[in-house]
Amino acid sequence: MTDKYAVIGNPIGHSKSPIIHKAFADQTGEDISYEAILAPLDGFEATVRALMADGYKGTNVTVPFKFEAYKICDSLSARALSSGAGAVNTLIHIDGKIHGDNTDGIGLRTDIEKNIDFQIANKHILILGAGGAAHGVLNSLLGASSITIANRTHGKALELVMGIRDCEVHAITFDSLERPYDLIINATSTGLTDTALPIPSSIFAKGCLAYDMMYGRETPFMKQAREAGAQVADGLGMLVEQAAEAFYLWRGVRPLTKPVIQLLRHA
Ligand code: NDP
């Protein structure tokens, strides 16, 4: 019998998750269906419960429901707990209970280290933004020499670095940016509106990787980084890698991700 899965969000029409999971299922021979479901803004939990009653085995969660999803979980993975993000993107439905995990961090690290072949250890990292995405990936960057969070709202950057141990951390605003970094991750939502960030080009060190978590088109951040000589990447690989980790949690099988990244790039 086909096992049912879904991604829940609002809006959801843009989601590439159904294409990704169908490709994983075709590749691994797993008998699953996967669809995108629009939940009303005040109806996330009701949507999950209805899917569970209908036999769905798991769900992915996207904007704006990741924080609410965390709250309705009966149990959480060590990864979801230790990230301090208070957000999950993967739910496993077992015997009427909900187990939550967050695969965004491992998705980002796998894309950067395995697909792009850029090692995080001993690097000076700058994260632009302190919203849900930055929270979700911060712990996956431990092992760096230092992590600096620059955010428009300073208080949110401060809040984000407070939980970090075993790594030199800084919380700043954009106007303090000057020194160069080895890895710069744009985790703001400015790519969605084509807004340029107030950042100087001096922050891109020689050999710097500039990574935008947004995907689908070149953002002003990517353009500026390219012009400053940085290596540039978008977040498509992260999207596929976080999905692969969710697929593994549900099915116990690891799909190959590179062919799926290529499929989406050429779509
Ligand atoms: P949030 O709304 O939680 O956070 C938005 C962040 O952007 C905040 O830090 C906010 O700053 C900052 N920001 C917004 N507008 C501006 C502006 N005009 N100037 C400067 N800073 C601004 O969004 P998320 O964290 O959920 O998502 C961020 C991005 O990451 C999105 O583009 C999303 O698509 C992408 N993403 C990609 C994933 C992938 O798999 N590739 C996974 C998850 C997210 P302030 O605090 O001051 O408001």
Supply angle C-alpha 100, 104, 107, rounded to 5: 125
Q: Among 65, 116, 137, 189, which is best to mutate for testing ligand 1, by the most ligand atoms less than 8 A from CB?
A: 189
Any idea which residue has 């989406």 for tokens? 264
CA of 215 to the centre of ligand 1 (A): 13
Q: Residue 234: pLDDT above 90?
A: yes
Between the CA of 265 and the centroid of ligand 1 the distance, in Å, is 22
Mean residue pLDDT across the chain: 96
Find the mean pLDDT for residues 27-44.
Answer: 98
Give 133 Cα–ligand 1 centroid separation in angstroms: 7
Q: How confident is the model at residue 256 (pLDDT cuts 50, 70, 90)?
A: very high
Taking the model in full, what pTM does it have?
0.95
State the pLDDT at residue 132.
83
The angle formed by the CA atoms of residues 181, 136 and 248, to the nearest 5 degrees, is 115
With a 6 Å cutoff on the Cβ, whether 157 touches ligand 1 is: no
In what side-by-side order are the strands of the sheet with 32-38?
32-38, 3-9, 58-61, 90-94, 97-101, 75-76
Residue nearest to atom 1 of ligand 1 (CA): 131
Q: List, for residues 119-178, the tens digit of each pLDDT value.
A: 999 999 999 999 888 988 998 999 999 999 999 999 999 999 987 878 999 999 999 999
Query: Ligand 1 atom closest to Cα of 191?
Result: 32
Residue 85 has pLDDT above 80, yes or no: no
Residue nearest to atom 34 of ligand 1 (CA): 214
Q: Which two tokens stand for residue 10?
A: 């609002």
Query: What is the rounded (10 degree) CA torsion for 72, 244, 192, 84?
Result: 40
For residue range 175-224, list pLDDT tens digits in order.
999 999 999 999 999 998 999 999 999 999 999 999 999 998 999 999 99
Residue nearest to atom 31 of ligand 1 (CA): 189
The closest residue, in CA terms, to atom 44 on ligand 1 is 133
238 lines ligand 1 (CB under 6 A): yes
So what's the pLDDT on residue 24?
A: 98
Q: Are 105 and 133 in contact (CB under 8 A)?
A: no
| Residues belonging to the active site | 66
Closest Cα to atom 4, ligand 1: which residue? 131
Residue with tokens 């029409």: 13
pLDDT tier at 19, thresholds 50, 70, 90: very high
Alpha helices per DSSP H over the chain: 17-28, 44-53, 66-71, 78-82, 104-110, 132-137, 154-162, 220-227, 236-251, 258-266
Q: Using the mean position of ligand 1's atoms as its centre, give its distance from the Cα of residue 164 in Å.
A: 20
Residue 153 Cβ < 6 Å to ligand 1: yes
